[in-house]
Chain A
Amino acid sequence: MTFSCSARALRAAMMAGLVATALSSGAAFAQDATVKIKSFMFMPMAVTIHAGETVTWTNMDEEPHTVTSNTGLFRSGGIDGGGTYSFKFAKPGVYKYSCSIHPQMIGTITVQ
């Protein structure tokens, strides 16, 4: 009985921990978010911000990359290694983008 109770308590604690981790890493309600471009990936791939906030991408590869909106709303041009690009998202929506040089690199900005 005692064992069963403590196991349940442990499970509850673990669940709470998982939820807390998910909230802190996934949603990222940071103002003016940053995205790293490293090893041919946008990290994090999904970022959530509020309308009016700015996202800044930093290219940490030696290879140039771009941040290119699927709809043409924003287009960085070539960002060489070490370079950055910023875009201010005025309206709520889901904005998908990719690197136009390496189309396997994709990301999403969700604006609430």
Chain B
Amino acid sequence: MTHETPSRRGALKCLAYGSAGTAFALSGGVFTTFDLAEGAVPKHATPLFVQVSDSHIGFAKDANPDVAGTFRNAIDLVNAIPKRPAFVMHTGDITHLSKPEEFDTAAEIMKGLRVAEIHTVPGEHDTIDTTGQGYFERYGAASGGKGYYSFDSGGVHFVALVNVLNFKPGGLGGLGADQLTWLEADLAGRSASQPIVVFAHMPLWTIYAPWGWGTGDSDQAMSYLRRFGSVTVLNGHIHQIVQKVEGNITFHTARATAYPQPVAGMADGPGPLKVPSDQLAAMLGVTSVTAVRHARAIALDDRTLASA
């Protein structure tokens, strides 16, 4: 009889690059953090993919008058990773106001990425007209116009979700019944040992409801994901790193490439956070994710009551 346990070899490492970047290594559901400056990034690790988020092309206020410039800097950062990732995922708010010229500028800048594939999910700033026409004209083909889709790469199953088109007034982001039905079917029958990575723009867990930092029906999505041994949920939207581990599910939000936002509840609202210009670069960045394929040593330490 085969006994299938959630796979530890499929655990994912998240490395967040920034000028003051912190790297996150996920090993069996436990985060360890270390600074990139320490040079502790394993040399054998090839990034599976890199996440960029919240480029907000079109924004030109004090918090960052040159979002195109910092988006280019982020792309330079991706291109400088020694081993080329299979793809880049942009987790939304590509543009600031969904204007055609903003989408055009963003597309032009993203052409500089030296990767084979670019994937996207929309942010609410990309669908301000509520239909998301501008976004879907450019990025809808991958999903047949639905916006949500899945694919496999490097043995990992990737799921890209849309939680910015089912807003309920006064509430949080939403996935909606159709997408949840699709997600359940997409995951059904997959081996529990296959690592799963889920993308969506808004956090798929409630970070701070008064600012809308959450997804109202995300619990339903998580109920389909809990049986898997390694699930990594990557979001953007809040322009800062917040993370938690719940069972086998790791939640992580990315820095923006445009401007930082305040810590939850620490301002009147989640608007752009102005910081001294020499501190801005340290608050912007991208996230690189590496699959750990080698066997990990597991230390077991049994103690009796008498050994205390």
Contacts and interface: CB of A to CB of B under 8 A. Distances in A.
A53 B23 CA distance: 57
A102 B130 contact: no
Contact of B97 (A40, A62, A64, A97): A64
Interface in B96-130: 96-98, 124-125, 128-130
A81 B62 CA distance: 12
Chain A, interface SS category: loop
Nearest to B210: A104
Nearest to B130: A100
Contacts, number: 71
5 contacts: A40-B211, A63-B272, A78-B97, A78-B98, A101-B125
Nearest to A106: B170
B172 interface: yes
B268 interface: yes
A77 interface: yes
Given A77-B128, A103-B167, 14 more contacts: A40-B269, A61-B269, A64-B96, A78-B128, A80-B97, A81-B61, A96-B169, A100-B124, A100-B128, A101-B128, A102-B124, A102-B270, A103-B172, A104-B212
Given A39-B269, A75-B130, A104 B211 contact: yes
Interface of B: 61-63, 96-98, 124-125, 128-130, 167-173, 209-212, 268-272
B11 to A, nearest CB: 35
B5 to A, nearest CB: 41
A62 B169 CA distance: 21
Nearest to B165: A100
B94 to A, nearest CB: 14
B271 A63 contact: yes
Leading 8 A-B pairs by shortest Cβ distance: A40-B269, A98-B169, A39-B268, A103-B167, A78-B128, A78-B97, A104-B212, A63-B271
B270 to A, nearest CB: 7
Interface of A: 39-41, 61-64, 66, 68, 70, 75, 77-78, 80-81, 96-98, 100-104, 106
Residue in B62, B172, B269 whose Cβ sees the most chain A Cβ within 10 Å: B269
A41 B269 CA distance: 9
Contacts of B272: 62-63
B30 to A, nearest CB: 34
Given A63-B269, A63-B271, A80-B97, A104 B130 contact: no
B271 A104 contact: no
Contacts of A66: 128
B62 A103 contact: no
Nearest to A64: B97
A70 B169 CA distance: 7
Contacts of A101: 124-125, 128
